[in-house]
Amino acid sequence: MTSNNFSSPQKTSVKKPLLHTLQGHEVWPPPIWLMRQAGRYLPEFRAMRAKADFLTRCMTPDIAVELTVQPIRRYKMDGAILFSDILILPWVMGQSLAFVEGKGPVLEPIRSEADLKLLDKNRVLEATRPVQQTLSILAKELPDVTTLIGFAGSPFTVACYMVEGGGSRDFAQTRKMMLQNTPLFQKIIDLLVTTTAQMLSAQIRAGAQTVMLFDSWGGLLPPQEFRQFVIEPTRQIVEFLRAEHPSVPVIGFPRLGGVMAVEYAEKTGVNTLALDTVTDPTKIASMVPSKLALQGNLDPMILLNGGDALVKEATRIRDSLRGRPHVFNLGHGVMQQTPPENVALLVDSVRNV
């Protein structure tokens, strides 16, 4: 593995600016990390990508550690998010999974009780031990100022891929099962609540100092179904984690949840609400408690384009949320074609006060 050559980011009055913010305190300037900050826009990532397939990279601690620390080494981000994938969970339970170039994840779909019974929830902790090893190494090697972030997909979003058999624009098969065979769909959700909570708890025991739940597809649902399959499962996971690890903050990302994001923040118990690109952060800020941290929400396309427009928009978002806990981030992940120098410009802009 490449030797770690870190230097500290801009000094702040707290040891871990990101963790302090997630715990409900304002830090100025706000801490910054980016979704998909380890990715194909970095030449050093592409060099590692050529050495092993995606699942091997996720499940080989030395490789996963290197990919996690690359953006920390380059940009001194305040948070290092584990290099992994939300579909590791169904895969370790026994669902087939392959990542196909140009197509994305491909799974053998779960469409019946018999399909569901083939999955083994008891394999999760042992089968994800390499991920836990990655976190243990990172906890020792990262700079003291950097917060280590674990994560999982939220039950509804993971269920979308499990039922559909891959990615989709509308996840029609998933929503069809949700409406026509609600008991089966609820069993899938319940399985994912239990296993996601266990997996995240193991990540925390291994060294993660905060965890994030990604609900990328919850915005497909109308309000009542959103409450049933997004808010309630997330609440159960947060409740479990709070009992096991009361001091560890949880970040929730109900992408495209619209006004339901406010109810999500209120009822799930998350410490931080991550905002998607289409959300007006100042309006959301007026609708949620002042101690609830907000994360986001620069448009990744603005980051890709760079220049003065990037500096202006980053500064606007940063300044609009001054006075409350705020983690600067994107409203979605870094785009593959983003010039690395634009990310450096963004980090400098956020920290330049």
Which of 41, 161, 255, 351 is labelled catalytic? 161
73 assigned binding-site residue = no
Tell me how many helices (H) and strands (E) the chain has.
Answer: 18, 9
49 is catalytic: yes
Q: Are 131 and 82 in contact (CB under 8 A)?
A: yes
216 assigned binding-site residue = yes
Q: Are 124 and 88 in contact (CB under 8 A)?
A: no
Q: Are 242 and 220 in contact (CB under 8 A)?
A: no
Q: What is the C-alpha to C-alpha distance for residues 256 and 260, in angstroms, rounded to an integer?
A: 9
41 assigned binding-site residue = no
37 assigned binding-site residue = yes
324 assigned binding-site residue = no
Q: Are 144 and 15 in contact (CB under 8 A)?
A: yes
Which of 36, 111, 129, 242 is labelled catalytic? 36
264 assigned binding-site residue = no
Q: What is the C-alpha to C-alpha distance for residues 204 and 148, in angstroms, rounded to an integer?
A: 10
205 assigned binding-site residue = no
Q: What are phi and psi of 274, to 5 degrees?
A: -85, 130
255 assigned binding-site residue = no
Is residue 307 left, alpha or beta, with left meaning phi > 0 and alpha meaning psi from -120 to 50?
Answer: left
75 is catalytic: no
Q: What is the C-alpha to C-alpha distance for residues 298 and 304, in angstroms, rounded to an integer?
A: 11
Tokens 């997909």 sit at which residue? 153
Q: Are 93 and 119 in contact (CB under 8 A)?
A: yes
DSSP for 314-342?
A: HHHHHHHTTTS-EEEEESSPPPTT--HHH
227 assigned binding-site residue = no
85 is catalytic: yes
Closest to 33 measured CA to CA, from 201, 151, 137:
151
β strands within the chain, DSSP E: 79-81, 97-100, 104-107, 147-153, 210-215, 250-254, 272-274, 293-298, 326-330
Which of 49, 74, 129, 242 is labelled catalytic? 49
Q: What is the C-alpha to C-alpha distance for residues 216 and 156, in angstroms, rounded to an integer?
A: 9
Three-state secondary structure readout of 125-167: HHHCHHHHHHHHHHHHHCCCCCEEEEEEECHHHHHHHHHHCEC
Q: What is the C-alpha to C-alpha distance for residues 57 and 88, in angstroms, rounded to an integer?
A: 12
Which of 57, 73, 85, 299 is labelled catalytic? 85
Residue positions annotated with a catalytic role:
36, 40, 49, 85, 161
Q: Which residues are annotated as a binding site for substrate?
A: 36-40, 85, 161, 216, 332
Q: Which residues are annotated as a binding site?
A: 36-40, 85, 161, 216, 332
